[in-house]
Structure 1
Amino acid sequence: MVDRIGRGGAVEPVWDTLTHHEDYAIPYWVSENVTVHMWQAMPESLCRRLEVVDGRAVLLGSPTDDHQGAALSLGIGLRSHARAYAQASGRPVDALYGYDLRLRTDPLHHRRPDVIVYGQAPGRGLPTPSDTLLVVEVVSPSSRVIDTVHKSAEYAAAGVPHYWTVETGDGSICAISWYALPDGDKRYRLRAQWTPQLTPEGIWTDAPFPIRIAWDELAF
């Protein structure tokens, strides 16, 4: 495994040309020039460990307990609100935890957000950027630049209207920043920041639909 130096000096680990995953021999093309056909030929257990950035496979680091706890609690909370909104409005809305979001096909480029909130008819498969209403990324120390700079630019360029970044510490969520795309723009602007100190009532927003989540609902 080697490191790739990305924009802004961020380091993203990638597979080298001679490595194995479980009992699966990873061929040379996994490291770069990965196509949709190649991706579909990989075992699911390997795909869950990778993102693909401009055709180059990027190895995902092992998440911390805080990262997993925050992603899971937000995924549960957002799915509950999404389904309640869908039932009340008749609009198909749901949330997924830890699924791929393909941003581009050629060159292949997809990320694996911690939570995706999307709207589409049942049975249409995984969400696309045009279906996606909100993407959530829990920021880790090793991925801060990637989450707050690179992924922010990528999701904005793909037209995802809302983006949350989540900060954790000492076994709890300590801050959530909400970024939104102004009409006709491709760069996020900060709309709000929720913290237990600044917003003791929790997360309160009406976009992309009404969301009211108390901090104790996000405990992990």
Structure 2
Amino acid sequence: MTQLENLCLWNNSLIAYRGKTMFLRDWVTSDICYVKDLYENNIFLPFHRICERVGHKPTRLFEYGAIRTAIASLFLKMNDNGIQAMKVMDYQKISTFKPRQFRKLMVDAYQTETIAVSFWKRKMGIEINKDIWQIASNASKEVRLRLLHWKITHNIYPTNIILYKMGIAESISCTHCTEETDYIEHFFYYCRKISKVWNLVEEAFFTACSTKKFMLMCGMPYLA
């Protein structure tokens, strides 16, 4: 408990319910801001004690359950060595923060690396940096292309291997060739049917690059 007692409850990615952080203004104004504020003698406060401090309203039981579940999930994620790389923030006047100010402070203090970074490094040996993240918004003004690029970069494009885990697809195999597992790199590049498209693109590119006009535009010497 000592490792967690000073951990901030709100807008904290470590304390999330169904993958989303929480911020309850009436809890904050009632001075419930840290994990330690929910415990007494190492026992989680019962629901009626919370209502005595925060007040009653129709959604209070849901809020209580969500916070209790989020903290319980955090305990389950702890390993034998305790919480790794956990930063503790100490705000003296947290109740005076506006939601936007509070969120910025939390984001700045709890910078985390998205799973996609380790995925592409492991898969392709590619280091994802700030410039690569911005390609999605800088490469095109077309919203659908930006969204496609964003999904690919984050490895959340709905290939069959993802859809199968969600119970939507019947198989993890590629829909087009039915031979290989439908990983994201297979779907967009290695599939034997998709690779034909890339071969045509490559041929067209090199054909264009070999023309006199293109070479002169690039300042390259042209030998007839």
TM bucket (normalised to shorter chain) is under 0.3
Which structure is richer in relative contact order (CA contacts within 8 A, separation 6 or more)? 1
Structure with the largest fraction of helix:
2
TM-score, normalised with respect to structure 1? 0.24
Structure with the largest fraction of strand:
1
TM-score, normalised with respect to structure 2? 0.23
| Structure possessing the higher radius of gyration over alpha carbons | 2
